[in-house]
C-alpha cells in the first residue's frame, strides 16, 4: 500500500505535470545557459523570459536589456558558479541599445526547469567603450 502511494505521488507530481518548457529535466546551469543564449545571442529577451521564467518569477532587474527583444547582446563572461539550484554569472555586457558597457553580476535561482528568481546585485557602467577581455571566459561553459 505504502509503495503504491509513493508511486502514485511520483507519477502524478504537479511539478512535472503539463510543463513542457525547454528547461524541464535539465541542470540549473543548463537552464540559465538556455535563457542566456536566447536573450543575449539571439536577442529574443521577451521570448527567453516566457520560456525560462515562471509567471511568478521574482526578477529584481525588471528593466534589464536581456528581458527585451532587440539586437543580440555581446558579452564577456568572467566567471560562472553553479551550486545546487543557484547559478551566478559575472559578465560584462558590451555597449548596446543605447546603453554603455556594463559590468554585471546575476544570481539566478531555479526550480522545476525554470528560473524562479534573479538578483542583479552589481551593475556598473564602464568608462571604456568595450568590455575588457577575460582569460577565464574560455572556461565558463557558456556560449
Residue ranges of the domains in the chain?
A: 26-134
CATH class of 26-134: alpha beta
Asked whether 88 and 81 are in contact (CB, 8 A), the reply is yes
Number of alpha helices (DSSP H) and beta strands (DSSP E) in the chain: 3, 5
More confident residue, 17 or 33: 33
Question: What cell numbers appear for 102 in the block?
Answer: 556594463
Write out pLDDT tens, residues 80-132: 999 999 999 999 999 999 989 999 999 999 998 999 999 998 677 888 888 88
| C-alpha distance across the termini of the chain, in Å | 49
In the predicted structure, residue 19 carries a pLDDT above the cut 80: no
Instruction: Choose among 15, 32, 14, 10: nearest CA to 23.
Output: 32
Helix or strand holding residue 45 (H, E): helix 45-52
The residue among 59 and 23 whose pLDDT is bigger is 59
pLDDT beyond 50 at 138: no
Residues in the chain: 143
Lowest mean pLDDT among 7-11, 58-62, 108-112, 120-124: 7-11
Q: What is the pLDDT of residue 127?
A: 81
Amino acid at each position: 500500500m505504502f509503495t503504491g502511494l509513493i508511486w502514485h505521488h511520483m507519477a502524478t507530481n504537479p511539478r512535472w505535470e503539463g510543463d513542457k518548457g525547454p528547461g524541464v529535466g535539465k541542470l540549473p546551469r543548463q537552464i540559465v545557459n538556455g535563457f542566456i543564449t536566447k536573450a543575449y545571442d539571439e536577442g529574443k529577451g521577451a521570448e527567453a523570459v516566457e520560456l525560462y521564467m515562471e509567471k511568478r518569477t521574482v526578477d529584481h532587474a525588471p528593466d534589464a536589456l536581456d528581458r527585451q527583444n532587440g539586437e543580440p547582446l555581446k558579452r564577456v563572461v568572467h566567471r560562472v558558479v553553479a551550486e545546487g539550484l543557484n547559478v551566478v554569472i559575472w559578465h560584462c555586457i558590451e555597449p548596446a541599445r543605447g546603453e554603455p558597457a556594463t559590468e554585471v553580476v546575476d544570481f539566478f535561482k531555479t526550480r522545476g526547469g525554470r528560473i524562479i528568481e534573479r538578483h542583479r546585485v552589481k551593475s556598473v557602467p564602464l568608462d571604456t567603450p568595450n568590455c575588457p577581455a577575460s582569460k577565464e571566459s574560455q572556461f565558463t561553459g557558456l556560449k
